[in-house]
Amino acid sequence: MRRLALLLLILVDAGCVSGAWPYGFVEHDGLPPQGVPSAGESLAIVVNRANAVNNLSTAELRRIFLGARGHWPSGRRITIVMMEPGQPERAAVLRQICQMSENEFSNHFLHGLFTGEVLVSPKILATPLGVRKFVFNVPGAIGYLRISDVDSSVKIVSIDERFPNEKTYPLHVTPPSVK
């Protein structure tokens, strides 16, 4: 019972974002204009610019985001960065990459951390700017951003040899349905 309580505390802590940024984040000029995203906007997978990985298969990406793969080919530990629950970008990643609902994803990490199958849960950040800054400052980080939120501080990784500007690119954010 104490292990479960400790695990729940770890998960709650992982979802908390403090006001103090680690790793000495620095603001960058040239941010893309912020506006209303277009319907079906591409969702870019981004890594630190020092990461040698340029392409991931959909299957590799799924293993990474589910915590089944913990290290890059260089040996550096992978740090997964995700947006908060309820964000359309996160919903797209869960649906298109993880093939899970929010509850299934949470249960996967709860079970995985409890059994030791998953060693680290994702870092949860509130904004695209926070994701971009974190990936910029953490060499092993991987995250996702709308293509309109990407700048030169991070590197876009192709998925199955396709980039977000290509017609057959597999990852898109769909706008909430209008009721």
Backbone angles phi, psi at 86, to 5 degrees: 95, -15
Q: Measuring CA to CA, which residue among 57, 82, 67, 179 is closest to residue 120?
A: 67
Q: What is the mean pLDDT of each run of 10 residues along the chain (179 residues)?
A: 41 37 30 42 97 97 94 95 96 96 94 86 95 98 97 97 94 71
For domain 2-18+39-173, the question of CATH label 3.30.70.2740 is answered with no
Burial status of residue 63 (CB atoms within 10 A of its CB: 0-12, 13-18, 19 or more): middle
Domain locations in the chain? 2-18+39-173
Contacts of 155 (CB under 8 A, 6+ apart): 46, 47, 48, 49, 51, 54
Cα angle 114, 16, 62; round to 5: 55
The DSSP code for 121 is P
Q: Tokens 């985001």 — which residue?
A: 65
**For residue 176, what pLDDT is reported?**
61
pTM (2 decimals)? 0.76
Taking the C-alpha atoms of residue 10 and residue 51, their distance in angstroms, rounded to an integer, is 28
**For residue 119, what pLDDT is reported?**
75
